[in-house]
Amino acid sequence: MYNETVMRHFLKPKFAGELKGADAVGTVGNPICGDKMSVCIKVKAGKISAIRFKTFGCAAAIATSDMVCGLALGKTLDAALKITRNDVSEALGKLPPIKEHCSNLAADALGEAIFNYYSARGEKIPKALAERRAHLACASCEAHQCAPKA
């Protein structure tokens, strides 16, 4: 069902666990639907200097969490915000279609972390991020209102 890249990130994630002294954390998903992801970041000179995730979820949820951390590490916040769900999926060499909807939330968790970072510092939220947040929702289970409250 899953390809080798997905399995590698699922079985041996590099970014799993606690990030001590994180500047911000972003959480999306809902355990009722089977997936809840948190991405923690440290920011130094406008760049993501450290990143880790904590995820409750299936293999795809864990693999996408790990991949988004790898993609974002070292990037400026602006560049990190440009990482999309599709980028994560492409980097993993595609997920099974059924998992694209429900388990590929990691990019959104990263976006939430960056939003919370800006908010905590009283900085202006970039327009693209504000727009993206307006559409934030767990596509598979809107009924559960997985989208974070603004």
Partner 1 sequence: MSKRVYLDNAATTMVDPAVVKALLPYHSEKYGNPSSLHAFGREAARALEESRATLAKVLNCEAGEIVFTSGGTESDNLALLGVAALAKTKRVITTAIEHPAVLKTCDYLEANGFEVVRLPVDRYGIIRMADLERALSKEAAAVSVMHANNEVGSVQPIDAVAKLCASKGVPLHVDAVQSFGKLPIELSKAPISLLSVSSHKIHGPKGAGALFVRRGVKLSPRLLGGGHERGLRSGTENVSGIVGFAKAAEIARRNRVKNCRKMSLLRDRLAKRVLAANKGAWLNGPTGVKRLCNNANFSFPGIEGEALVLRLDAEGIAASTGSACSSKSLKPSHVLLAMGLTPVQAHGSLRLTLSRFTTAREIDYAAGKIAQVVKELGGFSNVSREEAMRRV
Residues serving a catalytic function are 33, 102
d(CA 98, CA 107): 17
Q: Which is nearer to partner 1, 62 or 71 (CB)?
A: 62
d(CA 142, CA 70): 28
Report whether 57 contacts 29 (CB < 8 A): yes
Q: Which is nearer to partner 1, 31 or 46 (CB)?
A: 31
Q: How far is the CB of 64 from partner 1 (least distance, A)?
A: 12
Q: Which is nearer to partner 1, 17 or 46 (CB)?
A: 17
Q: Which residues form the interface with partner 1 (CB under 8 A)?
A: 2, 7, 10-11, 13, 16-17, 27, 31-38, 53-62, 98, 102-103, 140
Q: Which two tokens stand for residue 2?
A: 């899953």
Q: How far is the CB of 98 from partner 1 (least distance, A)?
A: 7
